[in-house]
């Protein structure tokens, strides 16, 4: 059966893909509010749909990174498995929390992402540590190789770090936290994965971006598996939304080569803040 409201909301998917292609990441965080207020899904349905979108796009996005040798299979699998428990716990919290409280928390996550992106636009240094502190890629699988190459140049001198018990602990904590984010909010969590892989394991930025896709795919599959019994998956919403997002991705990638990325990021920050405030206002009004 055709979901008319989902078809009408598909342009929102195009805008999300556009922002992902133009900015190299971050746009996927808009998927949940777009699905709630555009496609008429509940917050729990929207986070489940977002998980599917995140997982599919991660699998699609990993292909060029794999061909270029930028995916560390063993490390990515270990990091992903470290997040399995967090993914399951996050999914359980998602089912237990009030839908309006979930949306209010999500608006806070959007404000954090907006602040992180704003810091990137203000940064004047190319210090790798500073850049990593400001990574805000919620879906790094869409990162444009042209954009990644800038960070790669900055991090090409990073040496491999000897794996110690402390390193293992850091990866375990980061993996669990990413799993919680994925399970609870339905987002990729690349803003944690990428810095952790670079700083804890000595990956170059391209390797971290490519390997993060494997982690995201594992966490998404784990979180989604725990929700399959709910029967809340609406393919009539997912398919048109995904198609329009991929179309927007292609346009955004071309746009990135013709526009100043900082200008695009600033406009996206405004959009994120606006959507976050709208979501928070609607949620608070419903809670009260």
Token code pair at residue 286 = 């419903």
Angular region, 25: left φ>0, alpha ψ -120 to 50, beta rest = left
In a domain, 20, yes or no: yes
- DSSP letter at 24 equals S
Q: What is the pLDDT of residues 123-144, one digit of tens each?
A: 644 444 444 444 444 444 344 4
Question: What burial letters (b/e) apply to 143-154, b meaning 16+ CB within 10 Å?
Answer: bbeebbeebbeb
pLDDT score recorded for residue 148: 40
In a domain, 2, yes or no: no
In a domain, 132, yes or no: yes
What angle do helix axes 165-185 and 205-225 make, rounded to 10 degrees?
50
- DSSP letter at 87 equals H
User: At residue 207, does pLDDT exceed 90?
Assistant: no
pLDDT score recorded for residue 104: 92
Q: Which has the minimum average pLDDT: 204-213, 214-223, 224-233?
A: 224-233
In a domain, 69, yes or no: yes
In a domain, 1, yes or no: no
pLDDT-derived band at 280, boundaries 50, 70, 90: very high
Total of domains in the chain: 1
User: At residue 10, does pLDDT exceed 60?
Assistant: yes
User: At residue 86, does pLDDT exceed 60?
Assistant: yes
User: For the whole model, what pTM was predicted?
Assistant: 0.72
Instruction: Show the domain range for 154.
Output: 7-287
Angle in degrees, CA 220, 87, 102, rounded to 5: 95
In a domain, 12, yes or no: yes
């Amino acid at each position: 059966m055709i979901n008319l409201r989902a078809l009408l909301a598909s342009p929102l998917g195009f805008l999300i893909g556009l922002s992902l292609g133009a900015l190299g990441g971050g746009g996927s965080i808009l998927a949940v509010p777009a699905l709630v207020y555009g496609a008429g899904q509940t917050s729990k349905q929207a986070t489940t749909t977002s998980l599917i979108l995140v997982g599919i796009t991660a699998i699609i996005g990993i292909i060029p990174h794999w061909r270029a040798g930028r995916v560390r299979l063993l490390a990515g699998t270990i990091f992903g498995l470290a997040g399995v428990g967090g993914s399951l716990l996050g999914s359980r919290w998602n089912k237990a929390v009030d839908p309006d409280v979930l949306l209010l928390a999500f608006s806070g996550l959007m404000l954090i992402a907006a602040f992180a992106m704003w810091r990137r636009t203000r940064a004047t240094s190319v210090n790798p540590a500073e850049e990593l502190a400001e990574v805000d890629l919620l879906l790094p699988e869409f990162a444009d190789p042209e954009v990644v190459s800038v960070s790669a140049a900055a991090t090409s001198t990073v040496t491999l770090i000897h794996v110690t018990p402390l390193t293992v602990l850091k990866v375990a904590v980061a993996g669990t936290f990413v799993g919680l984010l994925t399970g609870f909010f339905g987002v990729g969590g690349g803003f944690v994965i990428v810095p952790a892989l670079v700083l804890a394991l000595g990956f170059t930025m391209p390797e971290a971006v490519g390997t993060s896709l494997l982690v995201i795919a594992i966490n998404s599959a784990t979180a989604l598996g725990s929700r399959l019994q709910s029967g809340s998956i609406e393919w009539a919403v997912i398919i048109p939304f995904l198609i329009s997002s991929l179309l927007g991705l292609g346009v955004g990638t071309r746009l990135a080569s013709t526009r100043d990325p900082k200008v695009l990021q600033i406009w996206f920050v405004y959009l994120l803040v606006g959507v976050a405030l709208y979501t928070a206002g609607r949620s608070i009004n419903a809670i009260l």
